Amino acid sequence: MQFGIFSVGDVTMDPTTGRTPTEHERLKAITTIAKHAEDIGMDVFATGEHHNPPFYPSSPTTILAYIAAQTRSIILSTSTTLITTNDPVKIAEDFATLQHLSDGRADIVLGRGNMGAVYPWFGKSNQDAVELTVENYALLRRLWDEEVVNWDGKFRTPLRGFTSTPRPLDGVAPFVWHGAIRTPQVAEIAAYYGDGFFANNIFWPKEHYQQLIGLYRERYAHYGHGTAEQAVVGLGGQFFIRKNSQAAVNEFRPYFDNAPVYGHGPSMEDFTSQTPLTVGSPAELIEKTLSFRDYFGDYQRQLFLVDHAGLPLKTVLEQLDLFGSDVLPTLRKEFAANRPANIPDAPTFAARKAAKLAAEAVHADVADSLDLEGSIPTPFAKEVN
């Protein structure tokens, strides 16, 4: 089980001080946050992709490469890469480059984003969102899996004899998660290719995500990648914790009430009761997070949103310290307990490279065996037959 954090990359005023950080400050802060996540023992850091204010991460691979140079072990991912408006060739190149620079510590979450306005900025139409998702990913997959690609599609110019460079590190492409909030076609794509499915699990009740994850698991088994229980699932979540539950509630309330996404809507109490948000003590966060397995089955990756709604950097780092000391060890222990042996581990570059080498060794043994049989003299072969 992998644990980590993901950021949507908002630039939001701190409602307790009235101060809004600059884009420069937020970019520097997210680097500090990612490094601190590694320091407390987290496994994954992920950033979103947005091309409009009030967000800063328009170039997530640049951010992740900068973080890669200052970290040692943490997996670096996106929480959304826009498969609809990015050119698949550029995605293939950028993430293969990130793979090499990070020594394999790179994967990707593909999604459509939540802003229809972004499509015309990149010469696309949001009416084509699902078709773009299907076609662009089919091309991306080939660019990583095949040395030379010939391609004709509806939404981009043809490719003839094209080789994407650099090639994926050691022939192992970045692991792909497909992220969705409401689109069943995305769950179908993830299942078809045997990729992971990431449900952001933030703003909707559990029943909503149960439907999407259930569909993905069912179709994963249908396509022969394993049983439904073995499908590779990632979940989001979000928290604000203090040692004392009431202290957490009092401190976070102004941030919740003024947050651009859920502020000025349901009360914080209603929102925490109906969604995965936890505002309270470490014990309350542990209890709520462990309940995810009851709703969604055994899964592989759990990411949390912690740096949103104008929270200052100091507070975010305090949140991570408390999570690392009072929450993470218990979650690791409890999620490992009673985990069936047939449930796959979370994907890592090292494990996927080892599996590739093992498959190649088996293939070589079979080929050698066939060559040996072919070398038997004809008379002997006739006698055997």
Q: What is the pLDDT of residues 127-151, one digit of tens each?
A: 999 999 999 999 999 999 999 999 9
Averaged pLDDT for residues 281-304: 97
Query: How confident is the model at residue 112, as a pLDDT?
Result: 84
**364 contact partners, CB below 8 Å, separation of at least 6:** none
Q: In whole angstroms, give the CA distance from residue 275 to residue 237.
A: 9
pTM: 0.92
Query: How confident is the model at residue 377, as a pLDDT?
Result: 41
Averaged pLDDT for residues 109-117: 82
27-36, 93-102, 357-366: which has the minimum mean pLDDT?
Answer: 357-366
Does residue 269 surpass a pLDDT of 90? yes
Does residue 75 surpass a pLDDT of 90? yes
Q: Is residue 144 helix, strand or coil? A: helix
Query: How confident is the model at residue 375, as a pLDDT?
Result: 45
Does residue 227 surpass a pLDDT of 90? yes
Averaged pLDDT for residues 49-64: 95
**159 contact partners, CB below 8 Å, separation of at least 6:** 89, 139, 149, 150, 151
Query: How confident is the model at residue 265, as a pLDDT?
Result: 83
Does residue 373 surpass a pLDDT of 70? no
Could you say which architecture CATH assigns to the domain 2-346? Alpha-Beta Barrel (3.20)
Q: In whole angstroms, give the CA distance from residue 319 to residue 305.
A: 11
Question: In sequence order, what E strands does 132-290 have?
Answer: 149-151, 159-162, 175-180, 196-199, 233-235, 239-241, 278-280
Please report, as a single letter, which amino acid is at residue 346. Answer: A
Say if CB 239 and CB 306 are below 8 A apart.
yes
pLDDT more than 70, % of the chain:
95
Beta-carbon neighbour count of residue 357 at 10 Å?
Answer: 13
pLDDT bin (cut points 50, 70, 90) of residue 114 is: low
pLDDT in tens, 305-341: 999 999 999 999 999 999 999 999 999 999 999 899 9
Does residue 191 surpass a pLDDT of 90? yes
Does residue 81 surpass a pLDDT of 90? yes
Averaged pLDDT for residues 28-55: 96
In the chain, where are the structural domains located?
2-346, 348-385
